[in-house]
A and B are shown apart, each in its own frame.
Chain A
Amino acid sequence: MNQLIEAVELLLTPETWTGATGMGARLLQHLQYTGLAVALAALIALPIGLAVGHSGVGRGPAVMITGVVRALPTLGLITLVALFAGLGLTAPMVALVILAVPSILAGAYSGVGSVDAPVVDAASAQGMSTWQVLWKVEVPLGLPIIIGGLRLAVLQVVATATLAAYVGSGGLGAPLFLGLRTYDYPLLLAASLVVIVLAITLEVVFALVQRVLRRALRGTS
């Protein structure tokens, strides 16, 4: 309990947050890792997920791959990639992207697949091209679920990005591992608290975005 109080006191000390290795800089790095990993994962998973959801082709394999990839242990993956790529950002980034892909993929194909079949049929019968049906009908109507996939991915990545420091990168994992190795438990706890608060904050932001979207699509019933 004492150590938790010390951790909070540490966080309330302005010096903790300043400097190149301060908590502020680590927080920023952490956000950058998360943003980069989710963006790369979205670049891979969104096109595939939208295509699968739109055409229905490859839905079975997509569901299976999603499950298999989810079962991969992230720490093992980082270590494995680090053996080839060396220390630095590559290994954790590969692992984080792989971690984020299944949620985004599942969100994309479920979102597009959730749109009422008669609505899609009517849109194409009115003379919308395949692209128009996708962008003007399926994506807008499936958006809450697609965003839900991104939300899940961000949450997983933001928590797991601490592992980047395990192979010598920064982020909030750096003070966390430092505290662990030097038996500085208040530091370890302080870094953990920041990760938790960050995760909850992002979760709240995404929940708000989803809510606003659902309201904008209130005609859906």
Chain B
Amino acid sequence: MIEFRHVAKTYPDGTTAVEDFSLTVPSHTATVLLGSSGCGKTTLLRMVNRMVDPSSGQVLIDDEDLASVPPVALRRRIGYVMQNSGLLPHRRVIDNIATVPRLNGVSKREAHSRAHELMELVGLDAALASRYPGQLSGGQQQRVGVARGLASDPNILLMDEPFGAVDPLVRMELQRELRRIQTEVEKTIMFVTHDIDEALALGDQIVVLKTGGEVAQVGTAQEIVEAPADDFVAQFLGVDSGRRSLQTVPRPGGGHTVVDGGGRPVGVLEDPPEGSSEPRG
């Protein structure tokens, strides 16, 4: 469990990234911090591994105040996945994944065998092990990033817009994979994104943030879509632009087409198969 207690962050140049933020992140679930750029979501995320220290307030992991935990040791037990992967360009894929176990003193052999397991888990071909990051596609690099984040089997996985730099198709594929991986590993995930669809797809708990780390709404995907707390959340969801108010129109040849508020088709509603359907009318 990660707990933020009245956390604030003001940088030396006077800019305030976070004013007063409190939140509890339950264990073994995925919490998504959702907000546009400049809302302080990355700052909040980086407080968990002490890449940023709060100016005031406390961050606790399992009731332990992080201010008293040495940063280097803390980071080695927390997975961190970032945009543009941040892989070491001069090391092979296998060595990149093995980075943290090697720092923790695990033998090279053991670290590599663990890395091979992780490559399988994140869906990377074993043949890529001896490649360099520059030789991989963007999507493959992000998979390596996820594998590296999981390498020391951390309880907590921090993800800072990890799929932000890949194309939409690959992004959806990676989101699907992450959900599959999460059902296997059940980590406490904190995930930062500005993409509402990504938040709805991944978050067990979604935290919508305004500027300065102000919490606009906390809830499940369903709660947020069904009852946006205010105009800000509604606007973020795209309710007022009609993106979330869907209607069905009959489709020639049976079934219905689903359209959004602007009349643009977003999908098809299939009739239930014959026989299983309840009597109509």
Contacts and interface: CB of A to CB of B under 8 A. Distances in A.
Contact of A118 (B49, B76, B86, B91): B86
Nearest to B99: A126
Interface in A187-221: 216-221
A124 interface: yes
Majority secondary structure, A binding face: helix
A221 B100 contact: no
A55 interface: no
Interface residues of A, number: 23
Contact of A127 (B75, B88, B133): B75
B90 A127 contact: no
Contacts of A141: 89-90
A220 B100 contact: no
Nearest to A121: B86
A69 B3 CA distance: 54
Interface string B30-61: 00000000000000001001010000000000
Interface in A108-135: 116, 118-119, 121-129, 132
Size class of the contact patch on chain B: 20 to 34
Contacts of A122: 80, 82, 85-88
A132 B87 CA distance: 15
A137 interface: yes
A217 B86 contact: no
Contacts of A220: 89-90, 134
A217 B99 contact: no
B132 A126 contact: no
Nearest to B49: A125
B87 A125 contact: no
A179 interface: no
Given A218-B134, A220-B134, A221-B134, A125 B80 contact: yes
Contacts of B91: 219
B132 A128 contact: no
Contacts of B49: 125
A140 interface: yes
A23 to B, nearest CB: 43
Nearest to B93: A219
Given A219-B135, A221-B134, A132 B90 contact: no
Given A119-B86, A122-B80, A218-B132, A127 B51 contact: no
Contact of B84 (A118, A132, A137, A140): A118
A137 B76 CA distance: 17
Contact of B89 (A124, A132, A217): A217
B194 interface: no
Contact of A140 (B74, B86, B90, B134): B90
Interface centre among B90, B100, B103, B132 (most CB of A within 10 A): B90
Contacts of B84: 118
Contacts of A137: 88
A129 B76 CA distance: 10
B193 to A, nearest CB: 18
Contacts of A217: 89-90
B121 to A, nearest CB: 18
Contacts of B187: none
A217 B72 CA distance: 27
B72 A129 contact: yes
A20 B122 CA distance: 69
A126 B90 contact: no
Given A219-B132, A219-B134, A221-B134, A126 B89 contact: no
27 contacts: A118-B86, A119-B86, A119-B88, A121-B51, A122-B80, A122-B82, A122-B86, A122-B88, A125-B46, A125-B82, A126-B75, A126-B80, A126-B148, A127-B72, A127-B73, A127-B75, A127-B103, A128-B103, A129-B72, A140-B90, A141-B90, A217-B89, A217-B90, A218-B132, A219-B133, A220-B89, A220-B134
Lowest 5 CB-CB distances: which A-B pairs, in order? A122-B86, A219-B132, A127-B76, A127-B75, A219-B134
